[in-house]
């Protein structure tokens, strides 16, 4: 890591956390102004699309300066043409190819013969080329296939494997993927979202119900919201509001992802997404104004580590006289230690929220046990209630004790979007066949209809 002064270092660390949302020009500027290296970027999650959009002379310079190795670039998803240039040690510009901008590097290294003997076939071509090494770019055919079978493979690795003919669509088919799923898998790209900082967020609307989504990293908060918004939209219940342009964009993005069966990426630390909507039911002339607050699980984990001070930054933004619904999104685990750890975190989080006086204005606490498709029982509601009464009794009792002072409803229910594959892709995204996409958001919508006050605003 290059030496920087503490201010620059803090800034670099902040930018690296949101590297996925940065444009090519910004990346080049960070490199020239702050010495941010390509290795730091790729290690922090720079996407293959971002990497491949960088000028080739910049990539080559980074390699020549020893700031990143060819192997690391391959692992990060550098495309084949660029790899060939890197292997040769010169830019295509020097070769007369005209790609990239600015000057290349001065190198005498001759280009080695290209690793592939013939033109790259179309993506997904099932025909195998015996000449091509089965170990390419740090990916081995055997391990990739085994990861595909176990469902642990990274989407980028599968796409790279197909592009480099290491595996074929047939392999995916044989491992149980349907043709329609394979198409969605190959077209998947994580959409970079530029999250506003807490200071940039529009203030929470007054006279609305604030819906807090509280849960650890990966518990399913954003996915749940995506499914809820998609369902509510399809029922014609959502009325747009102009109170947060970012919130509206984020909601639209979540909804489109759900239509394509693509799940959201992990919400970056430090961010709270504020999504205001109005629900308007057919039989009700009034609106229900709701402010959804999708919190980053990483932030919530920090609150657990740092106690109340971890929440201090958000105090001004969150403090208001609005009614509140606290949704504890509980990741369904079978592992006893993971269950106990999650229970401790949520119990502590509830106490912190209580100290902040947030429970004073609370009208409902929902305990949502997610990933119900993984429950071993077909009676999901009963399984959820029994599971919470058995494993989350400590949290439940803390909440019940608090409820003696502030009257609110406590509800528990399961949630699921149905089985997922390779972490970010829904196996079946058609609500006609995947009834999870209707059943669970419908329960949630009914609870909001029942519990949240209405307003004349917007009529």
Q: How far is the CB of 86 from Mg ion (least distance, A)?
A: 35
Is residue 136 within 8 Å of 79, Cβ to Cβ?
A: no
Nearer to ligand GTP, 155 or 167 (CB): 155
Kindly indicate which of the ranges 215-223, 228-236, 360-368, 417-425 contains the residues binding Mg ion, using the contact rule CB under 5 A.
215-223
Q: What whole-number distance in Å separates Cα of residue 239 and Cα of residue 60? A: 50
Kindly indicate which of the ranges 127-135, 154-162, 267-275, 355-363 contains the residues binding Mg ion, using the contact rule CB under 5 A.
267-275
Nearer to ligand GTP, 215 or 276 (CB): 215
**Contact residues for ligand GTP (CB under 6 A)?**
215, 217-223, 263-264, 266-267, 296-297, 370-371, 373-374, 416-417, 419-420, 423-424
Here the contacts of 109-114 (C-beta below 8 Å, separation 24 or greater) are 111/84, 111/87, 112/87, 112/88, 114/84
Q: Based on the shown chain and the rule CB under 5 A, indicate whether residue 273 belongs to the binding site for Mg ion.
A: no
Q: How far is the CB of 221 from Mg ion (least distance, A)?
A: 5
- Cα 75–chain centre separation: 21
Nearer to ligand GTP, 46 or 296 (CB): 296
Q: What whole-number distance in Å separates Cα of residue 395 and Cα of residue 337? A: 16
219 binds, among ligand GTP, Mg ion, none (CB under 5 to 8 A by kind): ligand GTP
Q: How far is the CB of 413 from Mg ion (least distance, A)?
A: 20
Nearer to Mg ion, 220 or 414 (CB): 220
Q: How far is the CB of 220 from Mg ion (least distance, A)?
A: 8
Q: How far is the CB of 155 from Mg ion (least distance, A)?
A: 17
What is the token pair recorded at 238?
């959502």
Within 8 A by CB and 6+ apart from 193, the residues are 20, 21, 250, 253, 265
Q: What whole-number distance in Å separates Cα of residue 61 and Cα of residue 59? A: 5
Q: How far is the CB of 174 from ligand GTP (least distance, A)?
A: 22
Nearer to ligand GTP, 17 or 217 (CB): 217
Within 8 A by CB and 6+ apart from 143, the residues are none
Nearer to Mg ion, 47 or 222 (CB): 222
374 binds, among ligand GTP, Mg ion, none (CB under 5 to 8 A by kind): ligand GTP
3-state secondary structure of 414: strand
Q: What whole-number distance in Å separates Cα of residue 258 and Cα of residue 63? A: 39
Cα→Cα distances 260→134, 138, 161, 191, 219, Å: 32, 30, 22, 13, 21
Run of H or E including 446: helix 436-451
Nearer to ligand GTP, 167 or 417 (CB): 417
Q: Based on the shown chain and the rule CB under 5 A, indicate whether residue 222 belongs to the binding site for Mg ion.
A: yes
Nearer to ligand GTP, 215 or 261 (CB): 215
What string of DSSP letters covers 43-95?
Answer: HTT--HHHHHHS-HHHHHHHHHTTSS-HHHHHHTT--HHHHHHHHHTS-TTTT
370 binds, among ligand GTP, Mg ion, none (CB under 5 to 8 A by kind): ligand GTP
Q: How far is the CB of 213 from ligand GTP (least distance, A)?
A: 8
Is residue 299 within 8 Å of 271, Cβ to Cβ?
A: yes
Kindly indicate which of the ranges 86-94, 181-189, 222-230, 237-245 contains the residues binding Mg ion, using the contact rule CB under 5 A.
222-230
Q: How far is the CB of 332 from ligand GTP (least distance, A)?
A: 8
Q: How far is the CB of 125 from ligand GTP (least distance, A)?
A: 29
Nearer to ligand GTP, 100 or 215 (CB): 215
Nearer to ligand GTP, 167 or 224 (CB): 224
Q: Based on the shown chain and the rule CB under 5 A, indicate whether residue 267 belongs to the binding site for Mg ion.
A: yes
Q: Which of 255, 299, 293, 291 is nearest to 273 (CA)?
A: 293
416 binds, among ligand GTP, Mg ion, none (CB under 5 to 8 A by kind): ligand GTP
What is the token pair recorded at 340?
């106990």
**How many helices and strands in the chain, by DSSP H and E?**
20, 11
The torsion defined by the Cα of 354, 358, 362 and 364, in degrees rounded to 10, comes to: -60
403 binds, among ligand GTP, Mg ion, none (CB under 5 to 8 A by kind): none
Q: How far is the CB of 422 from ligand GTP (least distance, A)?
A: 8
Total residues binding Mg ion (CB under 5 A): 3
Q: Given the rule CB under 5 A, which residues bind Mg ion?
A: 221-222, 267
């Amino acid at each position: 890591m290059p030496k920087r002064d503490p201010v620059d270092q803090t800034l670099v660390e902040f930018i690296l956390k949101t590297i996925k949302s940065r444009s090519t020009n910004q990346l080049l500027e960070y490199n020239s102004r702050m010495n941010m290296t390509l290795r730091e970027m790729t290690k922090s999650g720079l996407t293959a699309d971002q990497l491949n959009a960088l000028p080739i002379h910049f990539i080559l310079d980074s390699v020549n300066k020893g700031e990143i190795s060819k192997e690391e670039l391959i692992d990060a998803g550098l495309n084949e043409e660029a790899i060939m240039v890197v292997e040769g040690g010169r830019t295509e510009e020097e070769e007369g190819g005209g790609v990239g901008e600015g000057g290349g590097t001065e190198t005498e290294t001759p280009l080695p013969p290209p690793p592939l003997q013939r033109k790259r076939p179309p993506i997904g071509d099932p025909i195998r080329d015996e000449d091509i090494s089965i170990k390419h770019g740090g990916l081995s055919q055997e391990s990739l296939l085994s990861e595909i079978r176990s469902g642990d493979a990274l989407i980028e690795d599968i796409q790279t494997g197909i592009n480099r003919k290491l595996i074929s669509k047939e392999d995916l088919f044989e491992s149980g993927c349907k043709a329609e799923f394979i198409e969605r898998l190959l077209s998947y790209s994580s959409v970079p979202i530029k999250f506003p900082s807490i200071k940039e967020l529009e203030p929470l609307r007054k006279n609305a119900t604030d819906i807090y989504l509280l849960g650890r990293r990966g518990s399913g908060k954003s996915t749940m919201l995506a499914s809820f918004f998609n369902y509510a939209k399809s029922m014609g219940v959502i009325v747009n509001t102009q109170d947060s342009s970012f919130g509206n964009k984020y909601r639209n993005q979540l909804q489109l992802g759900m239509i394509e069966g693509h799940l959201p990426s992990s919400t970056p630390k430090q961010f709270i997404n504020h999504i205001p909507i109005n629900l308007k039911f057919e039989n009700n002339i009034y609106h229900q104004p709701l402010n959804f607050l999708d919190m980053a699980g990483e932030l919530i984990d920090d609150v657990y580590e740092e106690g109340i001070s971890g929440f201090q930054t958000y105090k001004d933004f969150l403090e208001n006289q609005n009614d509140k619904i606290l949704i504890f999104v509980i990741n369904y685990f079978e592992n006893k230690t993971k269950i106990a750890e999650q229970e401790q975190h949520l119990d502590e989080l509830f106490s912190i929220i209580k100290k902040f006086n947030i429970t004073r204005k609370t009208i409902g606490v929902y305990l949502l046990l997610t990933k119900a498709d993984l429950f071993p029982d077909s009676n999901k509601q009963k399984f959820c209630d029994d599971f919470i009464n058995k494993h989350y009794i400590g949290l439940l009792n803390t909440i019940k004790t608090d409820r003696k002072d502030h009257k609110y409803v406590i509800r528990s229910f399961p949630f699921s979007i149905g089985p997922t594959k390779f972490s970010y892709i829904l196996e079946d995204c058609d609500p006609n066949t995947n009834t999870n996409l209707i059943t669970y958001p419908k329960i949630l919508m009914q609870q909001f209809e029942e519990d949240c006050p209405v307003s004349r605003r917007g009529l």
